Structure 1
């Protein structure tokens, strides 16, 4: 909006009107005057001061006030011919243009063109001289046009600043949303890695310790069970150190076991009482994220068998379908729940596996099947997320 103070401007215009009246600066538009004889310059205040009284309210309704000022200007034009009413008209024209919308500014420009043309025609009719008409039109057109151009430039600058501010705010909101999403993804990734790398080892420690406590006190069996507990403890400790290193450094990634770790997982499950048939028909060279997902699915499925179906017969089948997607199937039959103290599952294991599979564009289903339990997953072979 206007940076000037409307009341101060109005008082300034009023003082200017008094000064002009005292100096006799009136009668500038004698060609339009309808008076039969010159009048005192002080009569110009009769029109100039009411025009000045409109200025303090220009920010509230600039366009209606501009119309009122134009009426006073025409009255001044036909009588005393002062200057201040024209100044007030230009001030209100600036205020109306600055406050108008782009469409409103176009209407004001059309009004200026019509008004200048009407003034030229009136000048021609009053003086019967084309030169007077052209001079009047040029003077009013230059004054109104410059006023309109300056107000339009200021209004467009304000609109451009507002647009840039809006874009900056949108960019800030988008950046905040991206940061929140990145934090959410990191938290989910941490949850998956902690579950896959640490929870599995800790569960294995508890199961192996329970196995050592449940058998007869044979020295050889006890030492083997305790050795397995020690190995799982070391693996869990190393996984925790790796996670802490990544979190402290803020970069890097936790090394996730890939497809090459499958034979060791199968052998470990067999050592703990599962009868596992492993059928690997996958071709070499599948993407690393797919291989890691396959390993996680098999690892979690075997861990669930150890907890909920100890001694079960498990069949692990890896292959591809007609579309070239990687397929994983883990079926278990028989078995019995692990002896107390049992490890209460949270249900996160399968949920995290489903999230990992969906992130790669695949799908995973787990549930009862043929008197046992089945986990089936399909992952596009070209997945790289």
Structure 2
């Protein structure tokens, strides 16, 4: 049983351990007389001592120590040592080192370099077989030598290529997994951002108008001298807006807690109520609703939101204005027209506008394939919207 400390040292110094093992194997081969296996190629006039094979075996073993740093240059050096050994003592160890370095070079090489190594192996086997044919009395010996070298080098190259391709697949799958993880993180971040934008849009749609109305009516009541009737009217308006905001908030909180359902949204049927509320705030509103009885729900909500936001802006910025609201359908699209004339800005606005209202309306309209345009006109403000009746999938 090999001690754990020895196994740990071998794993930490694998190249050095292999070099020492090869050197020990070379000594053992010399002691057993396992040399002269390539006597067919020897150019020496007479056999020499087996121990002379260490002259080529030890330098070849030393190359193994550095095989991880430069396997291909070391392979070329090992081939030179192998040829020298082949033409002299004919040891076994130099061939083993060549096969070791061929494996190391093939595993770490690129696909194009592996193809060049394969061509080099084929040429080396052809040259060796040709040389054996020239030196051997029996051609069968030369063929046998070529087959042996081809089998050894071919098997070594095939196994190293399989390992290299497996490593490449591991790297590829890891890169794909990391890429998929990055995409997943981006998608999660985008989903969170989209959800936050949706929540902000819904909060603005459902609550901002009512809260602004509360603040405006309260400010108006405070700015008027003692007038019991006006105060009670303001309190009633504040109460109604508070109840609407409370109901909207409860609806949204319920959806957020349960994770399903729909947030209560205003529909076209609430337009008269919106008009009445705007008139309570001092506007004079004319509503001309010529839309078909049934339009898609997202379009219905978008139309209502556009009217609601326009009326809220009039209350904030054009107190006492006359507002004309026109809704109709033409050519497969719904058209919204809101024109305000006259009015005066609130001198002490209790709530500052964020400027998000029109931007959110434009986003909602773009999502439905439509558009919203708003801007000043002579003595007033105009909002125009077009939304296709067919909602994009």
Q: If the TM-score is normalised by the length of the shorter chain, which range does it land in?
A: over 0.9
The separation in 1 between residues aligned to 2:54 and 2:203, in whole angstroms, is 87
Structure 1: how far apart are the matches of 2:336 and 2:144?
Answer: 92
Q: Which residue number in structure 1 is paired with residue 151 of structure 2?
A: 142
CA distance in 2, matches of 1:362, 1:314: 23
| 2:333 aligned partner | 325
Map Cα deviations across residues 325-378 of structure 1 (whole Å, 9 max, x no partner): 222111100012236454321212112222222222322221101221011122
Q: Which of 179, 185, 196 is residue 205 of structure 2 equivalent to?
A: 196
Pairwise CA distance, 1:281: 2.5
TM-score, normalising length: structure 2: 0.92
TM-superposed CA distance for 1:12, in Å, is 0.8
Size of the alignment, in residue pairs? 383
Question: 1:112, CA displacement in angstroms?
Answer: 1.0
Which ranges of structure 1 fall in alignment gaps of 5 or more residues?
A: none
Aligned partner of 1:61 in structure 2 is 70
Instruction: Name the structure 2 match of 1:235.
Output: 244
Q: Distance in 2 between matches of 1:258 and 1:132?
A: 97
Pick the aligned partner of 1:354 from 350, 353, 362.
362
Partner of 1:369: 377
What pairs with 1:178-193 in structure 2 (closer than 5 Å)?
A: 178-193=187-202
Show CA shifts across 1:190-231 (max 9, x none): 111111111111111122334444567665554343222211
Matched, 1:245 2:254: yes
3-state secondary structure, aligned to 2:326: strand
Q: Which residue of 2 aligns with 1:131?
A: 140
Q: Identify the range of structure 1 (9-18 vs 371-380) with the bigger mean alpha-carbon deviation.
A: 371-380
> What SS is found at the alignment partner of 1:159?
helix
CA distance in 2, matches of 1:128, 1:58: 38
1:320–1:326 Cα contact (<8 Å) kept: yes
Q: Is residue 319 of structure 2 the alignment partner of residue 310 of structure 1?
A: yes
TM-aligned CA distance change 1:96 to 1:259, over 3 Å? same
Deviation, 1:84, is 0.3
Q: Secondary structure at the match of 2:364?
A: helix
TM-score (norm 1): 0.94
Comparing 169-178 and 269-278, the one that deviates more: 269-278
Q: Counterparts in 2 of 1:103-142, with a 5 A limit? A: 103-142=112-151
- The question of whether the paired residues in 1 share the 8 Å contact of 2:369 and 2:392 is answered with no
- How big is the alpha-carbon RMSD for the aligned residues of Structure 1 and Structure 2? 2.0
After superposing the two structures, state which structure 1 stretch, 261-270 or 213-222, moved more. 213-222
CA separation in 2, counterparts of 1:317 and 1:384?
24
1:142-291 superposed matches below 5 A: 142-213=151-222, 221-291=230-300
Paired with 1:243 and 1:6, the residues of 2 have a C-alpha distance of 67
Which residue is 1:382 aligned to?
Answer: 390
